[in-house]
Amino acid sequence: MAGNRVILKFTLFLAVIAISTAAIHHFGIHRLATDSRQLIGFIRSFGAASVPVFISIQVLQVLFAPIPGEVTGFVGGYIYGGPSGLVYSTIGLTIGSIIAFSLSRRFGRPFVAKFARQETLDKYDFLMEHKGIGISFLLFLVPGFPKDILCYILGTSKMPFRSFLIVSSVGRLFGTIGLSFGGSFIEAGDYRLFLVMVSIASVAALLSYIYRERLFAWLRAHKPHLPHKH
């Protein structure tokens, strides 16, 4: 019976993936997500229902890596303003993160391997072996790390769900604030504030890229050690 339930759940998941993929291609969301103007027009075309549509797009961009979160986060701020865009983006990103984490926790590493390359899994192997809450938070915080794939990877780790929820939500928050308010600055025509924000983000991203290997080596060297069993 338990085996049949697992098969049923996995079949339902595959059906959801198939339907979601078909919807993405039917509406052209994968193309819209790379063109902010088209994406803004697409979301606004739903009128009063645009908010759940936008939140759904944010969920999908976590589950499907080809949809860039930088564009969707910016668009949310442009359409709804900084505070509301931040709230709607956070809701969508949190739901998507929970789904990714829960699916990989349920179906394990073979499932995650369908979304992440083997070299990526090998690189983050130490996170699967330990809780690594502080390290994981830093990875969510630093620009340039694959946060969406990280949600899948952490689902196979020993990290408790509650800890993951806090780490992923708070870790994503700073980047989401920048994107949401950046979009609202552009919509309001306040290009000076936008340029200041972009400059700060660019410097942070550049430093993260330059020192990414050193940072990752430090993270591996300072991974938490589990107590020895007696």
Q: What is the DSSP string of 35-57?
A: -HHHHHHHHHTTGGGHHHHHHHH
The answer to whether 125 and 157 have CB atoms below 8 angstroms apart is no
* Both structure tokens of 54: 């936008």
HSE toward the beta carbon, residue 21, CA cutoff 13 A = 9
What is the torsional sign of CA 225, 109, 151, 139? positive
pTM: predicted TM-score of the whole model, two decimal places: 0.72
CA 140, CA 169: separation in Å to the nearest integer?
Answer: 9
Helix or strand holding residue 176 (H, E): helix 161-188
Q: What is the phi-psi region of residue 81: left when phi exceeds 0, alpha when psi lies from -120 to 50, beta otherwise?
A: left
* Both structure tokens of 215: 């940072």
Q: In a structure prediction context, what are the per-residue pLDDT tens digits for the chain, which is 230 residues long?
A: 555 555 555 555 455 555 555 554 555 554 555 567 888 998 999 998 999 999 999 998 888 755 666 788 889 999 999 999 999 999 999 999 999 999 999 888 888 887 777 777 777 766 665 556 777 887 887 766 778 888 998 888 888 898 899 989 988 888 888 889 888 888 888 767 767 766 666 666 566 556 656 655 665 565 544 444 33
CA 140, CA 129: separation in Å to the nearest integer?
Answer: 18
Please state the φ and ψ torsions of residue 141, each to the nearest 5 degrees: -80, -40
CA 135, CA 185: separation in Å to the nearest integer?
Answer: 32
User: How many C-beta atoms lie closer than 10 Å to residue 139's C-beta?
Assistant: 23
